[in-house]
Structure 1
Amino acid sequence: MTAEGSPTPGRPLWEAAEHVRTEKDWTIDQLAERAGIGRATYNRLATNRVPPQARTVRKIASAIGMPLAEAIRLSGLTSQPAPAGDIDLLPVITFDQASPDIMAATARILRQQLQQLREAAAASGRTLGDLLVDLELVRPEELRLSGRAGREAAVDLPDGHDRRAAG
């Protein structure tokens, strides 16, 4: 059963977590403690008719070693498949280390991940910024706009190219 259209959208994530839990011989209390959530919160994944909070999904994914993108999909927050290769977080690459091919591949993966996060935010009735804060990927003060929002912004890359992106 997939999360999409399920009367209990968090159940596929719960089933995946249960598989890991039994494989590692953890009790429910041990898994909940590792995730930093209550036992009742964990058990609600199997029965609740609304998707779990993004923060809960992130904590469970971390506890069971699952890529965040896959956990978001299994939780019912998005129906898109995880990016190829189950990439969860990208390694930090500085501009001077990256070839144009690596930069293009990184941008493609980031676009896929951002789309999944946008869908998850929309499904939970929140903004992308709220979701990023809930997942503890950014702090609220990091979400200030530069004043260029809504205008075309130039991004100078070290390869001498000028990329134009909508702000």
Structure 2
Amino acid sequence: MTAPDFLRLAEARRADLDMTKLALTEKAGIGRVTYDRLSNPATRPQMATIVRIADALGIDRQEAVRTAGLLNPSTPVELAEQRAHAAIAEVLQRRLSDVEPDVLARVALEMGEIMQAVASQLFQQAKPKP
């Protein structure tokens, strides 16, 4: 399974919903270029992008991720990335259960600076001890 496989699934669902591409990308909170890149077989989309599109179209997240070819990571880094994404999503949903899912998704999109600080802290912890 590849990004174009997911794009075919998404396009079929979009047609069923009679939704324009612009309406979909706005609802998913992604750029149109990002969506169009899914047509390239060499593209390895971010899981968050696939999940946002799936949510916007009412596609099951597991099906979307599997169809996009993201369930079988090929490197330890990709596996760790998948596990980290899942853990962060779970923690946000559990700890902020009173926040609407669409608001929570928007907050998650803005977490770049927070995650950079977390990464910096983790790198400091990973430095060899003298």
Counterpart Cα distance in 2 of 1:23 and 1:67: 15
- Asked if residue 36 in structure 1 is aligned to residue 29 in structure 2, the reply is yes
Kept in 2, the 8 Å contact 1:34–1:63? The answer is yes
| TM-score between both structures, scaled by the size of structure 2 | 0.60
Superposition CA RMSD, Å:
2.5
- Asked if residue 137 in structure 1 is aligned to residue 130 in structure 2, the reply is no
Residue identity matched to 1:29: L
| TM-score between both structures, scaled by the size of structure 1 | 0.48
State the Cα deviation string for residues 86-118 of structure 1 (Å, max 9, x = none): xxxxxxxxxxxxxxxxxxxxxxxxxxxxxxxxx
State the Cα deviation string for residues 45-75 of structure 1 (Å, max 9, x = none): 1115132101001101101111111001111
Deviation at 1:137, TM superposition (A): 3.0
Counterpart Cα distance in 2 of 1:124 and 1:51: 14
Q: How does 1:80-95 map to 2 (within 5 A)?
A: none
In structure 2, the partner of 1:160 is: none
Kept in 2, the 8 Å contact 1:10–1:51? The answer is yes
In structure 2, the partner of 1:56 is: 49
Kept in 2, the 8 Å contact 1:51–1:124? The answer is no
State the Cα deviation string for residues 11-40 of structure 1 (Å, max 9, x = none): 111111111111222111111111111111
Counterpart Cα distance in 1 of 2:68 and 2:55: 14
In structure 1, the partner of 2:111 is: none
Counterpart Cα distance in 1 of 2:34 and 2:57: 16
Counterpart Cα distance in 1 of 2:45 and 2:63: 14
Kept in 2, the 8 Å contact 1:72–1:120? The answer is no
- Give the unaligned 5+ runs of structure 1: 4-8, 79-118, 143-167
In structure 2, the partner of 1:83 is: none
Match of 1:13 among 6, 13, 26: 6
Residue identity matched to 1:72: V
State the Cα deviation string for residues 93-149 of structure 1 (Å, max 9, x = none): xxxxxxxxxxxxxxxxxxxxxxxxxx3485872414422157x3334xx8xxxxxxx
More helix, by proportion: 2
Kept in 1, the 8 Å contact 2:6–2:68? The answer is yes
